[in-house]
Structure 1
Amino acid sequence: MTTVDSAPRTTRVVTYLILGIVFLTLAGIGLATFRTAKSSHEARRKADRLVATLGLPAAANERIAQVLGDDGGLVCAAPNDELARSQLLATLSNGAGGPGARPVIADEQALNGMRAIIQVYCPDEADEFEQFVADLKLADTAK
Structure 2
Amino acid sequence: MIEIERKFLVNSNAFKKDAFKETRIIQGFLNTHKERTVRVRLKGNQGFLTVKGKSSDDGLTRFEWETKILDTDAKKLLNLCESGVIDKIRYEVQLKNHTFEIDEFFGDNEGLIIAEVELNSENETFEKPDWLGKEVTGNVKYYNSQLSKNPYCNWEK
TM range (shorter): under 0.3
TM-score of the two chains, using structure 1 as the length reference: 0.20
Higher helix proportion: 1
Higher relative contact order (CA 8 A, sep 6+): 2
Question: Which structure's residues are more often strand, by fraction?
Answer: 2
TM-score, length of structure 2 as denominator length: 0.19
Structure number, greater radius of gyration: 1
